[in-house]
Amino acid sequence: MTIVFWILAALTVSGGLATVLLKNTVHCALAVTGAFAGLALMFLQLDAQFAGFAQILVYIGAVAILVVFAILLTRGSETPKGGIFSHTWLAGLCLAAAVFAVLGWAVLSSQHALPLEAGSPVVSVMDIGNALMSRYVLPLEIVALLLTAAMIGAVIVAMHEKGDLK
Amino acid sequence: MVTTLDQIFVALKLWIVGLLPAALQPTAGVLLSVVAIIATFPALFAIAVLLERKGLGRMQNRIGPNRVGPLGILQPVADGLKSLTKEDIVPFSADAAVHFMAPVVLVVVVFMGFAVLPMGRNMTLVHMDSALLFYFAMGACTELSIFMAGWASRNKYSLLGAMRAVAQMISYEVPMLMSSVTVVMITGSLSLDKIVEAQNHYTWGLPHWYIFTPWGLAAFLMFAIAATAETNRSPFDLPEGESELVAGYFTEYSGFKFAEFFLGEYVGMLSISGLGTTLFLGGWSAPLEILGFMPSWFWFFSKIMMGICVFIWLRGTLPRLRQDQLMNFAWKFVLPMTLLNVFVVGLWRFLGEGWMRWVGCSAILLLAYVTVGRAEMNRKHYGPRSYRYAE
Amino acid sequence: MLGEGILKGLGETAKNFAGSFVSKERMTTVEYPEERLPLPEASRNFPFLVYDGGDWEAGLRCVACQICEKECPPKCIYIDKSKDKKPDHVGKLQIYPAKFDIDISVCMSCQICVEVCPFEAIKMDSEYELATEDRFGGLLLDRHQLAKSNEYYHKIHPTEAAEVDARLAEEKVKADAKAKAAAAAPKPAAIPAAAAPRSAESIPAAPAAPPKEGEAS
């Protein structure tokens, strides 16, 4: 629990809070990008280089851009008239607290299953590659299929619009 | 050949760090390298700007700027002074915080990319296992800053330019990644140091640079196209074309913020040239074995400047591509060719040494290129012209 | 093949780049203000007043007839007549302009003043470096600034100036011959015989003019 961890934790949590509390939707999107960056830095602090850089590349480089495009291409960039907080905020808070409790219990109880190590294990990219190709090849192929389906769907949606013009 | 001239910067840094107490030494070492990078690359930026203006001028049969200093070499100084002293105008309804952060984010992210480039023997700032991934992660963040710039200006044309720029950068990121993947496949590591080391061998005096292999040449060409598109450079500069959208996403920026964008763009060019030379042109290794006596950093920087000259040459020659032409090109031509290239690299690896793999791989790539090229060119894109007259 | 056009284009630009250092025909840049492009002969910018001889005040051809002032479409000419008279190129006593101002910020270079001037006194100049820092009076050219010599006129518009000179000389010769005939005719019979001798003089004056002009020019 070094000072770097606290700084990164503060960055991530404040990014998350800002995402839900800010009025301007695009500011919220940029705040969530800040939260992603905080997460990536935490991965890097734990020496998980591949995970950290992949987080930046995928989340900040693609997901954040997607979120921002979605906000802009719809009319979400205007502040909503009815205020940004929903009426059922208490139920939402309870639900979120319940999920957090379950996740926390799962993480803390798993510490007994794994041996306590002094240093962090070094996982090189080659190890990740080997694992993806041998042990996790089925999930890899399923994810690839999912992405292909998404791309084909996007192309079909776009093509129909062109068909209408003709 | 490891001579003192080659390691002069490393030796200098070690000497300076040695003067400090032991507790401060690691921090001081890192800080010194960072300061060196921050000092060198803006100087190279000034040279690049000057080269561009004079070079473009000569290509267009005119002299470039020649009033400031002998032959105009002090022109970047004049440009810098002008940017610094211009009034900083922020539009009234613009989002001031985001408007301010966008150029800052761009410059920060672009300079971060230099941390992993091997600029000479033992001259990498950070030795990382997944250095290439770090570089691409930083490249992905530049898109965000461009979007921020376009949106914060509260200007429809800026927004349009920013959207186009982001769409273009995302489309060309995939071919860039796939062409780099071919290099990674052959080297077996994401670390840029190892990639340069793998190219630093010589056969009959000629180097083992990846550009001299059929798949390497194809990958280099596609990397160059994707790099030109990533940095929003002609012929892919629709988002920032002066005759298209005023200045695109940086219309509302003036004075120093515009200079920061300009700096970010050119330093991004230098950075991507650096990556291209590291991946395909052997980084800091000399072209011929006998020329190995010259310092490694000299070769790296001259290769980067050659890359800049090629960028300038392309800018002076080619007309601008329209947005749909550029996207079509990315998704329908460059991406399939990169995928084919990945397949060819696999073939290269498993055919083993010998003349057969050269012939086979070159044949496949050439066939694909010629067939697809011919198909694209013969396809009639223009229907019969129809006119509608006002009644 | 795909990409051939790009390579040809790259070759062309490379040729331009290399050629611009060696051949003069490629590099057509004129480095203003050290070098200037020569202006074509018929170029015109703003008017100027022609004077003959050395003294600009005495040789000014303008007689303040104010035709150009009236014909000028944007009304940029302002003329003040003088109180006394001085002889013009044919010897007749004429008034001259005490003030002749042209506002070149208004002038539209239409050349109407040149076309209507019966005395060939105002012509078009081709001087274009007239920028001044004085916003209020700097672009109002007065008589002294407008007066330029006939030699200058020959320098900028040689063909036109030669024609104008020929015309003026012809007129001068005609006027001289008329004056001589008027002096030679008898004084008392001048009035009744004025009509007959004049018509009789004008015919011999015309064929006599070419040989006279021949010796005059």
Instruction: Report chain B's terminal Cα–Cα distance, integer Å.
Output: 80
pLDDT of residue C187: 60
The answer to whether C26 contacts B61, with C-beta atoms less than 8 Å apart, is yes
| More confident position, B244 or C33 | C33
**Domain CATH code at residue C66:** 3.30.70.3270
Helices (H) and strands (E) in chain B, counts: 13, 2
What three-state secondary structure class fits C81?
strand
Residue B181 has pLDDT above 90, yes or no: yes
Domain span including residue C129: 47-156
- Res. A162 pLDDT band, cuts 50 70 90: low
DSSP, residue by residue, B12-45 = HHHHHHHTS-GGGHHHHHHHHHHHHHHHHHHHHH
The ipTM value here is 0.82
CA distance A94 to chain B (A): 34
C60 within a domain of the structure (yes/no) = yes
| More confident position, C149 or A86 | C149
**Whether residues C52 and C152 fall in one domain:** yes
Residue B273 has pLDDT above 80, yes or no: yes
The answer to whether A53 contacts B151, with C-beta atoms less than 8 Å apart, is no
CA atoms of B329 and A158, how far apart (whole Å):
17
pLDDT average, residue stretch B340-369 = 90
- Res. B268 pLDDT band, cuts 50 70 90: very high
Mean pLDDT (chain B, rounded): 87
C63 within a domain of the structure (yes/no) = yes
Q: How far is CA A28 from the centre of its chain?
A: 14
Residue B389 has pLDDT above 90, yes or no: no
pLDDT of residue C206: 42
CA distance B56 to chain C (A): 8
Q: Convert the pLDDT of each residue in B133-148 to its tens digit.
A: 999 999 999 988 888 8
pLDDT of residue B23: 83
Taking one residue from B and the other from C, the number of pairs with CB-CB distance under 8 angstroms is: 48
| More confident position, B159 or C207 | B159
Domain stops at, among C156, C175, C195: C156
Q: Which CATH number fits domain A1-80: 3.40.930.10, 1.10.1060.10, 2.70.70.10, 1.20.120.1200?
A: 1.20.120.1200
Q: Between residues 227 and 246 of chain B, which touch chain C (CB distance below 8 Å)?
A: none
Residue B16 has pLDDT above 70, yes or no: yes
**Whether residues C152 and C170 fall in one domain:** no
**Whether residues C139 and C54 fall in one domain:** yes
CA atoms of B347 and B367, how far apart (whole Å):
16
Q: Convert the pLDDT of each residue in B58-93 to its tens digit.
A: 898 888 888 888 888 899 999 889 988 988 888 888
Does C13 lie at the interface with B, CB-CB under 8 angstroms?
Answer: yes
CA atoms of B355 and B202, how far apart (whole Å):
18
Q: Which chain A residue is nearest to residue B102, measuring alpha carbons?
A: A30
Residue B309 has pLDDT above 90, yes or no: yes
Contacts 24+ apart (CB under 8 A), B356-365: B358/B213, B358/B214, B361/B213, B361/B214, B361/B215, B362/B214, B364/B340, B365/B214, B365/B215, B365/B218, B365/B340, B365/B341
- Domains in chain C, number: 2
Does B306 lie at the interface with C, CB-CB under 8 angstroms?
Answer: no
pLDDT of residue B132: 93
Both tokens of B91, joined, read 């539009």
The answer to whether C17 contacts B374, with C-beta atoms less than 8 Å apart, is no
Q: Are B28 and B13 in contact (CB under 8 A)?
A: no
Residue B338 has pLDDT above 60, yes or no: yes
Does C23 lie at the interface with B, CB-CB under 8 angstroms?
Answer: no
pLDDT of residue B156: 78
pLDDT of residue B245: 55
Q: Convert the pLDDT of each residue in B211-235 to its tens digit.
A: 888 999 999 999 999 999 988 887 8
Per-residue pLDDT of chain C (217 residues; tens, 9 = 90+): 778 888 999 999 999 888 888 888 888 888 888 888 888 988 999 999 999 888 888 888 888 899 999 999 999 999 999 888 887 666 678 888 999 999 999 999 999 999 999 988 999 999 888 889 988 888 999 899 999 999 999 999 999 999 999 998 998 899 888 888 888 876 655 455 444 444 444 444 444 444 444 444 4
**Whether residues C57 and C132 fall in one domain:** yes
pLDDT of residue A160: 65
pLDDT of residue C202: 43
What phi, psi does C79 have (nearest 5°)? Answer: -125, 135
Q: How far is CA B100 from CA B94, B260, B282, in A?
A: 10, 11, 39
**Whether residues C151 and C201 fall in one domain:** no
pLDDT of residue B275: 95
The answer to whether B173 contacts A24, with C-beta atoms less than 8 Å apart, is no
pLDDT average, residue stretch A136-150 = 94
SS3 content of chain C, % helix, strand, coil (to 5): 45, 15, 40
Does A11 lie at the interface with B, CB-CB under 8 angstroms?
Answer: no
Residue B307 has pLDDT above 90, yes or no: yes
pLDDT of residue A37: 94
With touching defined as 3+ CB pairs under 8 A, do chains B and A touch?
yes
pLDDT average, residue stretch B155-177 = 87
CA distance C129 to chain B (A): 20
Residue A77 has pLDDT above 70, yes or no: no
Q: Convert the pLDDT of each residue in A29-57 to its tens digit.
A: 999 999 999 999 999 888 888 889 999 99
The answer to whether C6 contacts B317, with C-beta atoms less than 8 Å apart, is yes
Domain boundaries, chain A: 1-80, 123-166
pLDDT of residue C209: 42
What three-state secondary structure class fits B295?
coil
Residue B120 has pLDDT above 90, yes or no: no
C130 within a domain of the structure (yes/no) = yes
Residue B340 has pLDDT above 80, yes or no: yes
pLDDT of residue C107: 92
pLDDT of residue A120: 58
The answer to whether C6 contacts B318, with C-beta atoms less than 8 Å apart, is yes
- All residues of chain B having their beta carbon less than 8 Å from the beta carbon of residue A72 are 151, 159, 163
Residue B116 has pLDDT above 50, yes or no: yes
Q: What is the pTM of this model?
A: 0.83
